[in-house]
Amino acid sequence: MSFPLLTATAVLPAAGAVATAAVPAARRTAAKWLALLVSLATLVLAIVVMVRFDPGGARYQLTESHAWIADFGVRYELGVDGIAVALLALTALLIPFIILAGWHDADPLETGSKRWRPTQGFFALILAVEAMVIISFEATDVFLFYIFFEAMLIPMYFLIGGFGDRAHAQGEEAASTQRSYAAVKFLLYNLVGGLIMLAAVIGLYTVAGNFSLTEIAQARANGTLHMATSTERWLFLGFFFAFAVKAPLWPLHTWLPNAMQESTAPVAVLITAVVDKVGTFAMLRFCLQLFPEASKWATPTILVLALISIIYGALLAVGQRDIKRLVAYASISHFGFIILGIFAMTSQGQSGATLYMVNHGISTAALMLVAGFLISRRGSRLIADYGGVQKVAPVLAGTFLIGSLATLSLPGLAPFVSEFLVLVGTFTRYPAIGIIATFGIVLAALYTLVLYQRTMTGPVKPAVSAMPDLKARELVVVAPLIVLLIFLGVYPKPVTDIVNPAVNQTMSDVHKTDPKPAVEAAK
């Protein structure tokens, strides 16, 4: 039997989480280093997966299949296509930076008296989330996917509620109340979505007799499995609702600003750059493959919701006074672009959406982590409390600027390519929606440049006059992300070569082809 590489990529961080949690409280530094080493080892395994994956080969590769709950047709089935490989690599790449950025976020606090904070628990929870996200990208059994889709809510709940942001103007007691509210809101929204999906999963089993994605999709393609139109639509809605909450899509988005505001910056990155990608990924893997006709039926409504997310998220970002809430609403706008690309039903749109998932993860990580370093120095999330930072901390200001420019999809940085593909893919089939969506770019320029202007330029405010610049650990976190933003902005081919074959197969699942150009190219 060949080495179970996909299982190893999930088991390693899971085992690392257990080992990190078991480190004695007095050995906090050892727990941090253990978590970091485990995350780096997981990154190595993810690189091996990328190297062994053949974009021109079978749709699902490195597959594993074992009987699990045989009486109910549940199997332990794993396999990756190009989309899953790209997102698995993104997850494994970001976790070491998240751990390094949060190196001191769970250290004991001094608030009159020393309070206990389980430092090892913080890093163990991050590794647990990584393991669950990775296996969600790998699972080709619907029930297996559902278990980890829901299970990741538990460690995220504790990361938000138990290890929240310390920068709160109203004191620790008010901060604790707000963290609890944000954590409960996150959990309730996602649990409701998950319960609705569970009903759809059971309904799918009733119709298909098993949970295997590949078997059900193949049976649907060759005509041996028929679903009544109403049944397919209801099942699609059950799956899509859960994924739209996770994504998040307007109007199911309201948990995200609270969760990101009250989390530490690394946990905020974990939410929007890693966990939320499971929702958009699942739309491609499960909604389009399992319910192709229902997906086409729902497309007009979903495109309108995605368009609202783009404009609404950008407009609210313009008016924010809190740095983290601004990034949260910007992410809602960006997820609107991703979902727009998925349901434009063109190869350019879906390639752009997949590339956008990767690029958004990198750009949001760069901006939010630098913002976290900024907030930790000043002790405030309010934009008005900053000014003139570039004069006292030029490296911090410079990296913040690049992260901001990436957020507005400046040409030459990675998000531009993906946003351009999404808009082109949308315009070729839905020109009116494509035109309106471009206003999201204009608004993005407004909120990012105003954010930079108000925090980094102008007179130096007394509270930031002694602000130190980025330290070595912080530079190690930020510099590779900046390099990736530039590299993938100039040369996105390594990612597109991996994802394009999977996108073409997804287009085939829904029996869609790209519209022919109105004017043929000259020969």
In tens, the pLDDT along 195-230 reads 999 999 999 988 888 888 888 888 887 778 788 889
The per-residue pLDDT for 23 is: 86
pLDDT at position 218 is: 84
Entry pTM: 0.90
CA–CA–CA angle 308, 441, 252 (5° rounding): 25
Cβ-in-10-Å burial (0-12, 13-18, 19+) of 462 comes to exposed
pLDDT tens digits for 157-194? 989 888 876 655 455 556 667 878 888 898 999 999 99
Q: Measure the N-to-C terminal CA separation of the chain; round to a whole number of Å.
A: 53
Is 140:6 a contact under the CB 8 Å cutoff?
no
Residue 102 has pLDDT above 80, yes or no: yes
What gap in Å lies between CA 352 and CA 358, rounded to an integer?
10
Task: Judge whether 33 and 41 are in contact, CB under 8 Å.
Answer: no
Q: What pLDDT is stored for residue 277 in this prediction?
A: 92
Q: 228 is written with which tokens? A: 């009544």
What's the maximum distance between 2 C-alpha atoms anywhere in the chain? 78
Host H or E run for residue 466: none
Number of H helices, E strands in the chain: 23, 4
- Pairing between strand 61-69 and 74-80? antiparallel
What number is the average pLDDT over the span 440-449?
A: 90
- Cβ count within 10 A of residue 372: 27
- Give per-residue pLDDT as tens, 474-503: 999 999 999 999 999 999 999 999 999 988
* pLDDT for 362 beyond 50: yes
Q: What mean pLDDT, rounded, does the chain reach?
A: 88
Average pLDDT on 407-413 reads 89
Nearest 5°: phi and psi at 410?
-65, 135
d(CA 393, CA 383): 16
Name the pLDDT band for 112 (thresholds 50, 70, 90): very low
Residues in the chain: 523
Give dist(CA 480, CA 35) in Å, integer: 20
115 confidence band (pLDDT: 50, 70, 90): very low
Cβ-contact 422, 325 below 8 angstroms: no
Contact 106, 21 (CB under 8 A): no
Confirm if 143 and 204 have CB atoms less than 8 A apart: no
Q: Which two tokens stand for residue 22?
A: 């078991």
| Per-residue confidence (pLDDT) for residue 114, from 0 to 100 | 44
Measure the CA dihedral 480/483/489/491, to 10°.
Answer: -100
Inform me whether the pLDDT recorded for 113 exceeds 80: no
Q: Is there a contact between 449 and 400 (Cβ–Cβ < 8 Å)?
A: no
**Is the predicted pLDDT of residue 250 greater than 70, yes or no?**
yes
Of the pLDDT bands very low, low, confident and very high (cuts 50, 70, 90), residue 383 is confident
How many angstroms separate the CA atoms of 153 and 157, rounded?
6
Measured in degrees and rounded to the nearest 5, phi and psi for residue 382 equal -80, 130
Whether the bond between 300 and the residue before it is cis, its omega within 30 degrees of 0, is no
Residue 174: how many CB atoms within 10 A of its CB? Answer: 11
345 SS3 class:
coil
At 184, is the secondary structure helix, strand, or coil?
Answer: helix
Tens of pLDDT along 305-358? 999 999 999 999 998 888 899 999 999 999 999 999 999 989 899 999 999 999
pLDDT of 45 reads: 95
Inform me whether the pLDDT recorded for 297 exceeds 50.
yes
- The SS3 call for residue 115 is strand
Return the percentage of the chain with pLDDT > 70, whole number.
94
CA distances from 447 to 2, 19, 336, 498 (A): 51, 43, 17, 33
Q: Are 509 and 431 in contact (CB under 8 A)?
A: no
Predicted local distance difference test score (pLDDT) of residue 506:
86
Percentage of the chain with pLDDT > 90?
A: 53
